[in-house]
Each structure stands twice: as structure tokens, then as C-alpha cells.
Amino acid sequence: MCLAIPGQIVDIDGSNSLTRMARVSFAGIIKEVSLAYTPEAGPGDYVVVHAGFALNTVDEEEARRTIELIHEMDDAG
């Protein structure tokens, strides 16, 4: 139940933050996901989902930095 890859929000339904649901695409497979814990998430954002709830959005800047660290290693070596 813990294997989780980020999914991308396709669209969002509902404005009440408790019941805000999104359709999220996981490499093409669409699931209904609650955004109750991630009110900041919007269409196009990537989210990490467990048991039907988005737990966090992916920070693109940090993702880029993580990959860059490896390229620096290559340049040094």
C-alpha cells in the first residue's frame, strides 16, 4: 500500500476544501484523489498520493537541484 509514484492533476472538482477532489493521472491511469491536505495544489501539479489522499506537491525547483547535484559529480570526475 506504500508504493507511490507522483501523479499529475488533470482537473479539480469542488471548491469546499474538505471535499475538494481531483482526477490524477498516474502514467495514464486516472484516479480520484482528495486534495483535503493539499489545498495549494492546482491542475498540472504533481502530487504524491497515499490511500486516495494527496500528501504533498512536488517542488520542481528541488527536483531540478537533486538532479543537478549528480551532474556536478560527473563534471568533477
Partner 1 sequence: MKYLDEFRDPARARTLADEIRRITTRPWMIMEICGGQTHAILRYGIDQILPPDITLLHGPGCPVCVTPLEQIDKAIELAQRPEIIFTSFGDMLRVPGSSTDLLSVKARGGDVRIVYSPLEAVDLARRHPERQVVFFAVGFETTAPANAMAAAAARQAGLDNFSLLVSHVLVPPAIEAILSSPECRVQGFLAAGHVCAVEGYEDYEPLCAKYRVPIVVTGFEPIDILQGILHCVLQLEAGRAEVENQYARIVRREGNPRARALVREVFEIAPRKWRGIGEIPHSGLRLRGEWREFDAELRFPLSTQHVDESPDCISGLVLQGVKKPDECHAFAIRCNPDSPLGATMVSSEGACAAYYRYKRRHA
Question: What is the distance between the alpha carbons of residues 64 and 74, in angstroms, rounded to a whole number?
Answer: 16
Q: DSSP E strands: which ranges in the chain?
A: 7-13, 21-26, 29-34, 46-50, 53-57
> Least separation, in Å, of the C-beta of 65 and partner 1?
7
Q: Which residues bind partner 1 (CB under 8 A)?
A: 1-6, 8, 27, 31, 34, 36-39, 46, 48, 50-53, 55-56, 58-60, 62-63, 65-67, 69-70, 73-74, 77
> Least separation, in Å, of the C-beta of 71 and partner 1?
8
> Least separation, in Å, of the C-beta of 24 and partner 1?
12
Handedness of CA 28, 34, 38, 43 (dihedral sign): positive
